[in-house]
Structure 1
Amino acid sequence: MTKHLQDTLSFEVFPPKTDEGMTKLKRAVTQLNQLKPLYFSCTYGAGGSTRERTFETVSWLREQGIETAPHLACIGSGKEEIRDIVEHYSQQGITRLVALRGDLPSGMGRPDRGTFRYASELVAYLREAYGQQFSIEVAAYPEFHPQAASASADLEHFKHKVACGADTAITQYFYNADAYFAFVDACEKQGIAVPIIPGIMPITNYSQLARFSDACGAEIPRWIRRRLEAFGEDREAIRAFGHDVVLKLCERLVAGGAPGLHFYTMNQAKPILALCTDLGVTPKLAGDAAAD
């Protein structure tokens, strides 16, 4: 299990809004990078709202020699804007992109004619314009996209993204392994052959997790919600219970043949390091890797 995970771990970070946040991010990335992940991905705000901060974060990651996969959210953007961003990344030696539809910024109506509407259109454009220069990751939803008309429609959308040229998929986080395995089985029956990497969200703050989950459509199983609610403001109890829940989820996913794990770090190293240690993956360098 350890060797498999050591070769296939990846981590998501987000661009901090403050200098203090950037300092914390750099410390977390330095600690997590001791696990020698395949890459770090970096998020991109709705309608490019964090563009400069994303550029700053990606530049720092590349300066450290870290393999980086910037998120590229396309809705509301035209081809010229996307081309400028991709050229910027190309000059930095980026070879991997996470191609997403993204959300429109608050207050913006429907995208203008001529802009990208779906991630599949972005993937198709990237393949047409850049060939095989980039490995392209896309999103997948084992519990289905919250805006999907039906489960079958959501699967068709995903199949189309892959047909347009996606290499790999990263899932929305989930806590029900059966949902992941059922989704993978459904994809295989549709002839979708790309690796589908489970997205893993540690549980450290219940109110924050509930807010995220309500917004993105990820289900927190009722038994987990009730246990977390019962802990009230006891953060240590929440973290201990959350660690056990996510650890068992990861163990089942890996045992079931998941091709890797992609951790949504929330720019924190400690919860991820604890999970990876219990999964048998430990830092490669000496030092206080567990400090956060």
Structure 2
Amino acid sequence: MAAPRISFEFFPPQTLDASFRLWETVQTLAPLKPSFVSVTYGAGGTTRKLTHDAVTTIGANFGLNVAAHLTCVEATRDETLDIARTYAEAGVTEIVALRGDAPKGTERFTAHEDGFASSVELIEALAGTGNFTLRVGAYPEAHPDAADMAANVAWLKRKIDAGASSAITQFFFEAETFFRFRDACAAAGIDAPIIPGILPVISWAGARRFAERCGTSIPQWLDDAFTAAVRDGREELLATAVATELCDDLLRGGVEDLHFYTLNRPHLTRDICFALGIVPEVSLQNVA
């Protein structure tokens, strides 16, 4: 079984300590030769400049293909497209186009009166520039705002038809969840690559809150296992084993790409990659 293509998600730092953590993360994972890395965009555009700075710095200093997240939240159409233009001018060729989360303190997304009303409108406008390869988000389980899974799949098809070339899923805990979604997408006529998103569990308490907020199912067996592992001081060991097994199941099911949500904590993601046979490339000249 061939090693998969991999990619990583980072988020922009908002403090000095977080800056050190981001650069440690990039330095640790860059030798694994990801096909691309992405940098997130804070709710309400709160990290707009930080995201831009992180994207351009990572691209310039580490030679990685960087995809910048871009959302519709709290910005006019012109402001959003201006941001896209600055990315194009900086040599960025990939964007992860998203509707975006509601700003802090609000429960639901509300479009700016002069802004893009949805991710589909954003994708159409970005595709029209001809400057970018566009990736989008996908939910293998029902999006909190979707009526059901069929609506979820139909909305993803609209995004692909609008100009996106691939999708990255929200995280999930069982391979069968992804396979059901992949089959439903294929039945709906979606032929663009769908990349599964993997969340290495840095903290089970944090992962559980995140899952509940975004509608990710939590299997009882997993909750029981992590509860026991936390009690016994084996949380990281279990996290590595669970994520590695999930990735292995996906690869055996025909998946060729894996996208890791690193949370800017690189070592668990690195160890999972090592367990999958993905190791840094070593030049023979360096060991001669």
TM range (shorter): over 0.9
Name the SS for the 1:231 alignment partner.
helix
CA distance in 1, matches of 2:142, 2:110: 23
The equivalent residue for 2:220 is 222
Pick from 23, 35, 55: which aligns with 1:38?
35
Unpaired stretches in structure 1, ≥5 consecutive residues: 287-292
The equivalent residue for 1:290 is none
Moved more, 88-97 or 102-111: 102-111
**Mapped contact 1:75–1:117 kept (Cα < 8 A):** no
Correspondences of 1:153-232 after superposition (within 5 Å): 153-232=151-230
**Mapped contact 2:168–2:197 kept (Cα < 8 A):** yes
CA distance in 2, matches of 1:241, 1:162: 36
Cα distance change on mapping 1:169 and 1:254 into 2, 3 Å: same
Pick from 36, 46, 49: which aligns with 1:49?
46
What is the alpha-carbon root mean square deviation over aligned residues? Answer: 1.5
Moved more, 214-223 or 165-174: 214-223
Superimposed CA distance per residue, residues 174-205 of structure 1 (whole angstroms, 9 cap, x where no aligned partner): 01111111111111111100000000000221
**Mapped contact 1:76–1:117 kept (Cα < 8 A):** no
**Mapped contact 2:72–2:111 kept (Cα < 8 A):** no
Aligned residues: 280
Instruction: Give the residue type in structure 1 aligned to 2:125.
Output: Y
Cα distance change on mapping 1:118 and 1:259 into 2, 3 Å: farther
Pick from 11, 16, 34: which aligns with 2:8?
11
The equivalent residue for 1:104 is 102
The equivalent residue for 1:260 is 257
CA distance in 2, matches of 1:25, 1:234: 30
Superimposed CA distance per residue, residues 155-190 of structure 1 (whole angstroms, 9 cap, x where no aligned partner): 111111111111000000001111111111111111
Question: What percent identity do the matched residue pairs reach?
Answer: 39
**Mapped contact 1:196–1:259 kept (Cα < 8 A):** no
**Mapped contact 2:45–2:73 kept (Cα < 8 A):** no
Query: TM-score if structure 1 supplies the norm length?
Result: 0.92
CA distance in 2, matches of 1:238, 1:104: 32
Moved more, 102-111 or 244-253: 102-111
Question: Structure 1 residue 107: deviation in Å?
Answer: 4.2
**Mapped contact 2:39–2:67 kept (Cα < 8 A):** yes
The equivalent residue for 1:122 is 122
